[in-house]
Chains A and B, each alone.
Chain A
Amino acid sequence: MRPTPGVSPLSSDDLIEIDRVSFGYDASRLILNDLSLRFKRGQVTSVLGNSGCGKTTLLRLIGGVHGANSGRVVFDGEVIDVRDRAQLYRLRRRLGMLFQFGALFTDLTVYDNVAFPLREMTDLPEGMVHDIVLMKLNAVGLRGAAPLKISEVSGGMARRIALARAIALDPELIMYDEPFAGLDLISMGVAAKLIRTLNDVTGATTLLISHDVPECMAISDWVVLMAAGGRVVAQGTPAELMASTDPEVRQFVRGEPDGPVKFHYPAPDIAVDFGLAPSPSVGVARGAVA
């Protein structure tokens, strides 16, 4: 079956709906342009795409960090309004997020970082916090690192600690921003398995953005391929995407250097930049991007 570009079929099981959303940090350069997507409740959905295609921005829009320039983001039937802090915080209590670079609190120990959301968001007694923290750290293989300072752990370890912190409160929606980047092969396999297991055991909804195709394909129920500007190239089950004959999909899932997806950022001809050929348009500064 050929994967379907654009919006997935309507379903009452959708936890998140991205409805014709456009967003740019400045109005002249849109990162997401008229993007529409739906994420099903209880599923692991991966959004795959090249660097800079707007994957992290998409997560930030769902978390209400930014407001869309146009369109709407709907979380469990509620349109997210970034100006309504009470609503934002109410919705955010239902989600956990793993940041691309961990975003760990550098003045706290590994243990205290994982305990942080438990202490701040719940009234659990310290004994129970202790047990939960050790369980979460054990799940990511870092129970022994609990007393270490954040400055004493490696980048890969920091990401696993951030993963333990993101799942500390067993949230309803877990968003992972590049969870596999910087992990060694063993950690990557463990992290992928953990993401899948957590989703199945807790009944959470998982939204994963990455460019690690094999890991995402192995654990996802649904995969969305995104290109620059937030254009949805294709979406479907991992099997559908792997079997796709679409050249853009094939290039992405197989990591081929040549194809419809360009490796280079748009630029004038290289001969023009090196002064070997005349500039095609008068008034364009040397080195400027076309």
Chain B
Amino acid sequence: MNWLASIGARALNVLAAWGRAAIFFIDLLAALPAGLRRPMLVIEQMHAIGNRSLLIILASGMAVGFVLALQLYNTLITFGAAESLGLVVNLSLVRELGPVVTALLFAGRAGTSLTAEIGLMKAGEQIAALELMALDPRQRVLAPRFIAGMLSMPLLAILFSAIGILGAWLVAVGLIGIDAGNFWSIQQNAVDVWRDVGNGVVKSAVFGVICTAVALYQGYETEATPEGVAYATTRTVVVSSLAVLGMDFLLTALMFSAPS
């Protein structure tokens, strides 16, 4: 019966971990007003989380735009639909690739940085020092970072999509020779600001909540050792990525399942 006890113990551990994560998330939400009362800390964190992620986001957006234009042109030309290249690129980026790829890059760049920072603060007893100064670390440390992450992600996703479309324009118009007027006008006519762009922004805001909350939780709950911090940063990337991909399917089904 040892195997049965082992399965039971594992199931209990998983449930306890989910419970701890849920309590952490509720505490984090409760700390948000306190975080908003510290706008300078939020701005500092937006600089650290958002601004310092700009290079990787813009470079990736440009590269994705380049290859999207090339790959889609090769497919669309087969069906005589090359003039719709601008539209397909735009919708791909704004609805899906912008929010999702930005979130995955965010988890790797800013998420790991947040986890390591909080984990090392815990290892260096800075979190305990705040507690003993009667300052709630959730309000002083976590909430400003959470708000900054939530605000930064949609902005980064918009920039990713914008630079991606520019990259696709460079390839489509400059390299392939598609008419520039057609490239832009078909987007102007067929892309809906609320349904397409708006839903993309909502998606990226949800991903911002997920990635930042996961990163902060992993840092806050980490074992305060070098191995613990290393393990927590890895878990941040894995858990955030899986959660983003799963949530993306759910949101896409909710937002775009009905034909426009």
Please list the residues of chain A having a beta carbon within 8 angstroms of any beta carbon in chain B: 60, 63, 65, 85, 88-90, 92-93, 95, 97, 99-101, 103-106, 116-117, 120-121
Contact = CB atoms under 8 A, between A and B. Distances in A.
B33 to A, nearest CB: 16
A60 B134 CA distance: 14
Given A89-B136, A120-B140, A65 B131 contact: yes
Which secondary structure characterizes the binding site on chain A? Answer: mixed
Interface stretch (B90-98, B121-129, B231-239): B121-129
Interface residues of B, number: 12
User: Can you list the 10 inter-chain pairs with the closest CB atoms, starting with the nearest?
Assistant: A103-B125, A103-B129, A92-B134, A89-B134, A93-B134, A97-B132, A63-B132, A99-B125, A117-B133, A103-B126
B131 A120 contact: no
A121 B124 contact: no
Interface string B105-147: 0000000000000000000111011011111100010000000
Contacts of B128: 60, 65, 99, 103
B133 A101 contact: no
Contacts of A101: 124-125
Contact of A65 (B124, B132, B135): B132
A273 to B, nearest CB: 26
B140 A92 contact: no
A93 B132 CA distance: 8
Residue among A103, A116, A117 with most chain B CB within 10 A: A103
A122 to B, nearest CB: 12
B125 A92 contact: no
Contacts of B131: 63, 65, 92
Nearest to B48: A107
B126 A105 contact: yes
Nearest to B128: A65
Nearest to A169: B133
Contact of B124 (A85, A88, A97, A103): A103
Contacts of A92: 131-134
Contact of A106 (B124, B133, B135): B124
A41 to B, nearest CB: 20
A92 B136 CA distance: 11
A90 B134 CA distance: 7
A89 B131 CA distance: 8
Interface string B67-79: 0000000000000
B16 to A, nearest CB: 15
A92 B135 CA distance: 9
Nearest to A94: B134
Nearest to B123: A101
Nearest to A116: B133
Given A92-B131, A120-B140, 14 more contacts: A65-B128, A85-B136, A92-B133, A93-B134, A95-B132, A97-B132, A99-B128, A99-B129, A100-B125, A101-B125, A103-B125, A106-B124, A106-B126, A121-B134
Contacts of B124: 101, 103, 106
